């Protein structure tokens, strides 16, 4: 008896080229998911975040040291060296993660597999917070570079940030391969030009015996506000740690690499970290030798550290503007790392039911569109809340990244303990060192930055965990109620009671009545009539012609004629009166299904709907809200020809 | 065979006291439409508009005369006297209209009955434009009085305007009786305090032989920019004519008066016009004797003419602030005349099919809520567009009012010609004089103010007429297609083909399937499966258990088992694939109805819907848009218990 009709290789159901096609490119089929990349594209896609951190990390530390006046600059080198050591530890840790999780070893995966779902959720929440902040900080720092080069733009900081956010969102909705290609050139220009600044600066420093002469004027540093203290240095270190954000990205994106995946991913990570270390060391050393301090970023006259450095080394010539342009583009695009990873982490979490299912749906271009839009929205809100000023966002940053680092490394330790392997002891040692170093740093960052804004991140992470738990709980509740593995009950099916509300006699009503008889012979035609002042009712056209229009044709066709129900009310609540009547009917026939047949006029243009009252739509919604399992609503559309 | 079930005097279908009740009061039954008023309430409800015109009319004329420097003030008296003569002619004209149209003789009614539907529409459009402008001008002038008294509020002009608009809208949504009562006190205070200013000013003038001494300093008048010319005086007269707006209101609202309607309405009109004439004459005379000129209204330092006058007569004491408060309240509330009349004119036009039917639906409080909201929205947009500055709105004003005046008087002339009557000759003479005077004034106003903004009104009126014609045409088209006076066709009814799209096997799907069998035995269960990379499909749970879950129970119940349709696509367009399948099915069975049964999960809270993809809703909309007359969509709701 079973008939199976399988429609394979259905042609793409696309009637025409739409606005979406033009903006985001044509849709990609499932098999098009071969958008794989090698190290050359991997460095911009996954590394831009880490690399561009060099532009705001040292500056964030220098901003704290500003309190010490010009004497503060001397403390930069030791702080950056500490960060470089930490970075190396993290590098070796993540090398192992890449090998152990070629299917994508993001903190979320590693922590949930090895430390349990609950801890995994904390890692996931920390990552999501980190990604959102990365977008906001990247864009705001990029705009910071722009307003350093063109001070006239300073008042438009926030507007510029939001414009860049919108452009990035658009690029990413097009898909990841285009993103990689679009970002290779700016990354190269950034690395090369900043490298050139550093190299030229070093040569000049050596030639001048460690005291090079600045070409452009360096903004004067204010007087010392306080004396040096461990607390101040710890705060500077905590701010500087933002230079380390983004290292996580590669291990999370391993499956995107072309084969051999592990080798390609490791090469990418090594190149990224090596460049980053060189940049950080170079910048710190040159700041010290040129005597460059930070400027206050939320006041006009602000100039970024990189801008000061480039101007000091080369003067404000073409090369300076190229460098600053590259810094702007690289920083703004660094947010792209988040756009590549945030939706993937969301998908992984959503697949376990902790986030709405829509995060798992791939959009037209095989990217997780909902995740991209969510990221864009949240980062936009952050930018607006903090006015697009990097310095105000920095204290929130790093908490999420370092929490994720720590949980990921700890998870790896458990991984090796469980799975053993030839060199398990060595692996445990490496990842254990990573976990210890990043764990300590996390605590330091939280304590040092708590009052300045880290508390927001500290609240946001458990808040997100709670939200995700509630979502999962809700889905589980639905599953419990809805899931079924028993056969259908199809015996004793009785035809429903049919209710047809009509305004008057028309072709629309005729069609609805005809459909009503396909359902059942128990048909009630409901007609509303207001009680007007004066009292006596003339009775409507429908009542007068009832026998002629309806009863005789029904009898002729051998059907039971419908019942006419005239609802009257001193009020003008047509909809509520009809709903009440249907609920009463349902109450009197508790075992019958009530099928409400709604005649609907379908207009050609949406604005034509302004010409009709929306009572049918309202009736549908009210029946859904106030109804129950016995009421089924059917819309019988009438299409206008003209 | 006919069963008629009549539900008379159904109890009010109101489950509980809602937010709407608290804001707008409990709903009123149809018979509550006894909200009739006498002259005491009629003067504030219909007269506030006309009376408060005294606050901006003379000022508008003085603003034009500003170009002549202090010499300009001398021309005020002749201009105001001309306006008073015009006002008297209009008064006698409208007295006749009230008697001839006790059922409400608005320009729209009079013009369409006597000059044809097309001309009536022009009158209607002119009135609507006039009412919208009246709201905007009334509110902005009221706020002008406020910022004159409290100059610190000047920067918040627009915000204040919008706040007052929102309050007025709320009051009017409560219903007209409350409005009348709420406005009697402010109107009395306005008339009495402004009257006192004028009387005291006149006494002082007489005591000082025509040269009274101002108590407060009067702002200095700028130097003359030009010499006097007929053109300038005509422009000043045109601006001053805004003082006449609002006279129309009484004749339009006759049915709202308690019996004897005509007498009450005429008394109301006479009192309103008498007070207005006294005020205009008094203000003009005092401006001349005190040497008060206008100030520039869109610049800080602005002070309204009435504020200068009150301060000059009495100084800035308590009496001054009471007067200015009364001016503010009266001006702001003058917009109320429009709120009472605009929805009625809309209703009259909508009843003939020239505006959407929803304008004829009375809301909870027996007022035409849609009309009130439309007026509020349009006036709000005007206020925003013109920054809440009265002076910029004045040139748009008066065109609509005088067009309506002219068409109404012309219509009355035709009325007397047609209907004769004992004193038809005299009536024709009176209305003819009115038509001539207002017609001439209309031309003068349009020419004098065209470049300053009257062109907007001149464009808006025919634009509105066109829009209304298009709406009527659309309704007529629908009627032609839909109207029917032939019996229902109920023979040869065949059960439909039923399509049930399911995501998987669940209680929701089971319920939908059971409902499907109440419709027909031709059931297709449609299931979507994406083609994943790799190729081979495992087949879903539904396919594996098909026989056990569905076929056996169907056979046991003596039903034809459903067909399983598995849709596969390389794309992820679940919804479009299903729509395409249904359209294909319809194409192959052109004479059958296709009933699509959609299983729907009903959540308790709206935000829970964020957790579900909206594919069911999307499918419904797409089937409505791309479907045709043979496809009927039924939603089978599943209510979550927890």
Give the C-alpha separation, B69 to B62, whole Å. Answer: 10
Contact A593 B475 (CB under 8 A): no
Residues on chain B touching A5 (C-beta within 8 angstroms): 563-566
Q: What pLDDT, on the 0 to 100 scale, is given for residue B15?
A: 43
Is the model's pLDDT at A365 over the cut of 70? no
Q: Which of B5, B471, B545 sits opposite A611 (nearest CB)?
A: B471
Q: What are phi and psi of A554, to 5 degrees?
A: -65, -45
Give the C-alpha separation, B183 to B562, whole Å. Answer: 69
Contact B27 A545 (CB under 8 A): no
Task: Describe the strand order of the beta sheet including A523-530 as a list of residue ranges.
Answer: A4-7, B563-569, B523-530, B497-502, B594-602, B631-639, A631-639, A594-602, A497-502, A523-530, A563-569, B4-7
Domain boundaries, chain A: 35-475, 497-639
List, for residues A533-562, the tens digit of each pLDDT value.
554 555 677 788 888 888 888 888 888 888
Q: What pLDDT, on the 0 to 100 scale, is given for residue A31?
A: 47
Q: How confident is the model at residue B7 (pLDDT cuts 50, 70, 90)?
A: very low
| pLDDT (mean) for B157-180 | 80
Q: What pLDDT, on the 0 to 100 scale, is given for residue B12?
A: 41
Query: Contact at 8 Å (CB) between A598 and A512?
Result: yes
In this prediction, what percent of chain B has a pLDDT beyond 90? 23
Query: Contact at 8 Å (CB) between B128 and B342?
Result: yes
Query: Contact at 8 Å (CB) between B527 and A528?
Result: no
With CA atoms as reference, report the closest residue to B453 among B517, B368, B394.
Answer: B394
Is the model's pLDDT at A253 over the cut of 50? yes
> Which of A92-101, A416-425, B235-244, B425-434 has the weakest average pLDDT?
A416-425
Give, in degrees to the nearest 5, the angle at Cα A115 between A111 and A116. 100
Token reading at A622: 């009210």
Is the model's pLDDT at A284 over the cut of 90? yes
Q: How far is B253 from chain A (nearest CA, A)?
A: 19
Q: How confident is the model at residue A479 (pLDDT cuts 50, 70, 90)?
A: confident
Three-state secondary structure of A326-340: HHHHHHHHHHHHHHH
Residue position matching structure tokens 């025919």? B462
Is the pTM value of this prediction over 0.90?
no
Is the model's pLDDT at B490 over the cut of 80? yes
List, for residues A286-341, the tens digit of each pLDDT value.
998 888 888 887 777 788 899 999 999 888 888 899 999 989 888 877 887 788 77
Contact A549 B471 (CB under 8 A): no
The SS3 call for residue A257 is strand
B239-272 as b/e: b if 16+ CB within 10 A = bbbbbbbbbbbbbbbbebbeeebbebbbbbbebb
Q: Which of A3, A490, A627 sits opposite B517 (nearest CB)?
A: A490
Strand A563-569 relative to strand B4-7, pairing = parallel
Contact B629 A637 (CB under 8 A): yes
User: B499 forms bridges with which residues in the sheet?
Assistant: B524, B596
Is the model's pLDDT at A480 over the cut of 70? yes
Q: Which of A505, A593, A629 sits opposite B639 (nearest CB)?
A: A629
Output the CA–CA distances (angstroms, integers) from residue B288 to B75, B80, B237, B285, B430, in the order listed: 9, 12, 16, 5, 33
| pLDDT (mean) for A605-614 | 68
Contact B481 A548 (CB under 8 A): no
Contact B557 A14 (CB under 8 A): no
Contact B571 A33 (CB under 8 A): no
Taking the Cβ of residue A618 and every Cβ of chain B, the question of whether any pair is shorter than 8 Å is answered with no
Taking the Cβ of residue A530 and every Cβ of chain B, the question of whether any pair is shorter than 8 Å is answered with yes
Q: What pLDDT, on the 0 to 100 scale, is given for residue A283?
A: 93
Is the model's pLDDT at A98 over the cut of 70? yes
Q: What pLDDT, on the 0 to 100 scale, is given for residue B9?
A: 39
Q: How confident is the model at residue B539 (pLDDT cuts 50, 70, 90)?
A: low
Q: What pLDDT, on the 0 to 100 scale, is given for residue A293?
A: 87
Residues on chain B touching A487 (C-beta within 8 angstroms): 548-550, 552-553
* Greater model confidence, A597 or A106: A597
Close Cβ partners of A166 (under 8 Å, ≥ 6 residues apart) = A376
Q: What pLDDT, on the 0 to 100 scale, is given for residue B19?
A: 55
| pLDDT (mean) for B381-404 | 88
With CA atoms as reference, report the closest residue to A205 among A291, A327, A274.
Answer: A291
Residues on chain A touching B589 (C-beta within 8 angstroms): none
Q: What pLDDT, on the 0 to 100 scale, is given for residue B66?
A: 86
Q: Which of residues 455-484 of A touch B (CB under 8 A)?
A: 471, 474-475, 477-478, 481-484
Q: Which of residues 544-583 of A touch B (CB under 8 A)?
A: 545-557, 559-561, 563-573, 576-577, 579-581
Token reading at B532: 């994943």
Q: How confident is the model at residue B479 (pLDDT cuts 50, 70, 90)?
A: confident
Give the C-alpha separation, B425 to B416, whole Å. Answer: 8
Contact B557 A518 (CB under 8 A): no
Q: Which of residues 345-374 of B touch A (CB under 8 A)?
A: 356-358, 361-362
Q: How far is B588 from chain A (nearest CA, A)?
A: 15
> Which of A511-520, B4-13, B306-315, B553-562 has the weakest average pLDDT?
B4-13
Residue position matching structure tokens 């706020």? B143
Q: Which of B30, B494, B506 sits opposite A483 (nearest CB)?
A: B506
Query: Contact at 8 Å (CB) between B141 and B426?
Result: no
Mutate to test the interface with A, among B483, B632, B638, B642 (most CBs of A within 10 A): B632
Q: What pLDDT, on the 0 to 100 scale, is given for residue A414?
A: 92
Look at the domain B35-473 and name its fold: Amino acid/polyamine transporter I (1.20.1740)
Closest B-chain CA to A638:
B629
Average pLDDT over all residues of chain A: 83
Q: What pLDDT, on the 0 to 100 scale, is given for residue B85?
A: 94
Average pLDDT over all residues of chain B: 83
Q: What pLDDT, on the 0 to 100 scale, is given for residue A179?
A: 54
Contact B581 A7 (CB under 8 A): yes
* Greater model confidence, B542 or A175: B542
> What secondary structure letter does DSSP report for A37?
B
Q: What pLDDT, on the 0 to 100 scale, is given for residue B432?
A: 92
Residue position matching structure tokens 């109301």? B268
Q: What pLDDT, on the 0 to 100 scale, is given for residue B182?
A: 64
Q: Which of residues 423-452 of B touch A (CB under 8 A)?
A: none
Contact B635 A638 (CB under 8 A): no
Is the model's pLDDT at B572 over the cut of 80? no
List, for residues B326-356, the tens digit of each pLDDT value.
888 888 778 877 887 788 888 888 888 898 8
Q: How confident is the model at residue B366 (pLDDT cuts 50, 70, 90)?
A: low
Mutate to test the interface with A, among B3, B5, B6, B7 (most CBs of A within 10 A): B7
Token reading at A174: 């097009």
**CB pairs below 8 Å between A and B: how many?**
330
Taking the Cβ of residue A2 and every Cβ of chain B, the question of whether any pair is shorter than 8 Å is answered with yes
Give the C-alpha separation, A471 to A353, whole Å. Answer: 7
CATH architecture of A497-639: 3-Layer(aba) Sandwich (3.40)
Is the model's pLDDT at A508 over the cut of 60? yes
Q: What pLDDT, on the 0 to 100 scale, is given for residue A248?
A: 80
Q: What pLDDT, on the 0 to 100 scale, is given for residue B540?
A: 73
Taking the Cβ of residue A513 and every Cβ of chain B, the question of whether any pair is shorter than 8 Å is answered with yes
Mutate to test the interface with B, among A3, A10, A21 (most CBs of B within 10 A): A10
List, for residues A30-79, the tens digit of each pLDDT value.
544 556 778 877 887 778 888 888 888 999 999 989 888 888 888 999 99
Token reading at A376: 């864009």
* Greater model confidence, B441 or A490: B441
* Report for B21-30, B185-194, B273-282: range of highest mean pLDDT: B273-282
Q: Which of residues 29-88 of B touch A (CB under 8 A)?
A: 29-31, 33
Residue position matching structure tokens 């809270």? B605
CATH dotted code for A35-475: 1.20.1740.10
* Greater model confidence, B517 or B219: B517
Is the model's pLDDT at B619 over the cut of 60? yes
| pLDDT (mean) for B288-300 | 83
Q: What pLDDT, on the 0 to 100 scale, is given for residue B10?
A: 39
User: B563 forms bridges with which residues in the sheet?
Assistant: B524
Q: Is A420 exposed, middle or buried (0-12, 13-18, 19+ CB in 10 A)?
A: exposed
Q: Which of B3, B520, B627 sits opposite A637 (nearest CB)?
A: B627
Residues on chain B touching A555 (C-beta within 8 angstroms): 1
Q: Is B314 exposed, middle or buried (0-12, 13-18, 19+ CB in 10 A)?
A: buried
Tell me whether 0.90 is exceeded by the ipTM: no
How many C-beta atoms lie closer than 10 Å to residue A151's C-beta?
13
Q: What pLDDT, on the 0 to 100 scale, is given for residue A199?
A: 93
Is the model's pLDDT at A577 over the cut of 60? yes
Q: How far is B116 from chain A (nearest CA, A)?
A: 24
Give the C-alpha separation, B270 to B46, whole Å. Answer: 12
């Amino acid at each position: 008896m079973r008939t199976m009709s399988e429609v394979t290789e259905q042609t793409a159901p696309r009637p025409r080229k739409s606005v979406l096609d033009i903006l985001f490119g044509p849709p990609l089929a499932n098999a098009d998911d071969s958008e794989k990349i090698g190290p050359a594209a991997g460095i911009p896609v996954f590394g831009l975040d880490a690399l561009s951190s060099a532009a705001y990390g040292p500056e964030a530390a220098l901003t704290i040291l500003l309190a010490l006046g010009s004497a503060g600059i001397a403390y930069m080198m030791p702080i950056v060296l500490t960060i470089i050591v930490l970075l190396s530890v993290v590098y070796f840790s993540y090398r192992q993660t890449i090998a152990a999780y070629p299917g994508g070893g993001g903190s979320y995966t590693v922590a949930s597999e090895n430390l349990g779902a609950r801890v995994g959720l904390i890692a996931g929440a920390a990552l999501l917070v980190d990604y959102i902040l990365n977008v906001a900080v990247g864009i705001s720092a990029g705009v910071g570079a722009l307003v350093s080069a063109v001070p006239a733009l300073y008042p438009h900081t926030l507007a510029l940030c939001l414009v860049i956010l919108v452009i990035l969102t658009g690029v990413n909705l097009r898909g990841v391969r285009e993103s990689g290609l679009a970002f290779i050139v700016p990354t190269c220009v950034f690395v090369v030009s900043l490298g050139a600044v550093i190299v030229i600066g070093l040569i000049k420093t050596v030639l001048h015996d460690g005291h090079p002469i600045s070409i452009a004027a360096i903004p004067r540093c204010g007087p010392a506000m306080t004396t040096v203290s461990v607390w101040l240095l710890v705060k500077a270190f905590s701010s500087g740690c933002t230079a380390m954000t983004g290292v996580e990205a590669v291990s999370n994106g391993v499956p995107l690499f072309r084969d051999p995946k592990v080798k390609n991913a490791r090469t990418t990570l090594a190149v990224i970290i090596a460049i980053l270390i060189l940049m950080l060391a170079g910048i710190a050393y040159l700041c010290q030798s040129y005597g460059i301090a930070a400027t206050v970023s939320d006041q006009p006259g602000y100039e970024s550290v990189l801008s000061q450095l480039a101007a000091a080394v080369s003067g404000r010539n073409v090369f300076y503007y190229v460098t600053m342009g590259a810094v702007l583009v690289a920083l703004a695009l660094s947010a792209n790392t988040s756009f590549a990873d945030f939706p993937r982490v969301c998908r992984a979490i959503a697949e376990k039911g902790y986030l709405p299912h829509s995060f798992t749906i791939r959009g037209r271009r095989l990217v997780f569109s909902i995740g991209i839009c969510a990221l864009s929205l949240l980062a936009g809100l952050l930018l607006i809340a903090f006015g697009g000023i990097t310095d105000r966002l920095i204290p929130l940053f790093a908490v999420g990244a370092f929490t994720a680092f720590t949980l990921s490394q700890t998870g790896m330790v458990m991984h090796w303990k469980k799975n053993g392997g030839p060199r398990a002891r060595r692996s445990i040692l490496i990842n254990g060192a990573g976990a210890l170093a990043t764990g300590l740093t996390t605590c330091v960052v939280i304590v040092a930055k708590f009052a300045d804004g880290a508390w927001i991140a500290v609240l946001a992470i458990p808040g997100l965990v709670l939200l995700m738990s509630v979502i999962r709980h809700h889905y589980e509740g639905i599953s419990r109620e809805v899931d079924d593995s028993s056969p259908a009950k199809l015996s004793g099916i009785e035809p429903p009671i049919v209710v047809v509300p009509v305004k008057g006699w028309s072709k629309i009503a005729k069609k609805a009545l005809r459909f009503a008889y396909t359902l059942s012979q128990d048909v009630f035609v409901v007609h509303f009539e207001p009680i007007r002042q004066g009292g006596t009712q003339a009775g409507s056209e429908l009542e007068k012609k009832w026998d002629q229009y309806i009863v005789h044709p029904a009898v002729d066709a051998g059907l039971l004629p419908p019942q006419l129900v005239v609802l009257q009310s001193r009020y003008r609540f047509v909809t509520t009166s009809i709903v009440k009547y249907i609920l009463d009917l349902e109450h009197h026939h508790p075992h019958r299904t009530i099928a409400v047949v709604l005649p609907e006029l379908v207009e050609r243009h949406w604005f034509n709907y302004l010409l009709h009252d929306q009572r049918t739509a309202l009736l549908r919604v009210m029946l859904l809200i106030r109804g129950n399992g016995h009421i089924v609503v059917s819309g019988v559309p009438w299409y206008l020809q003209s």
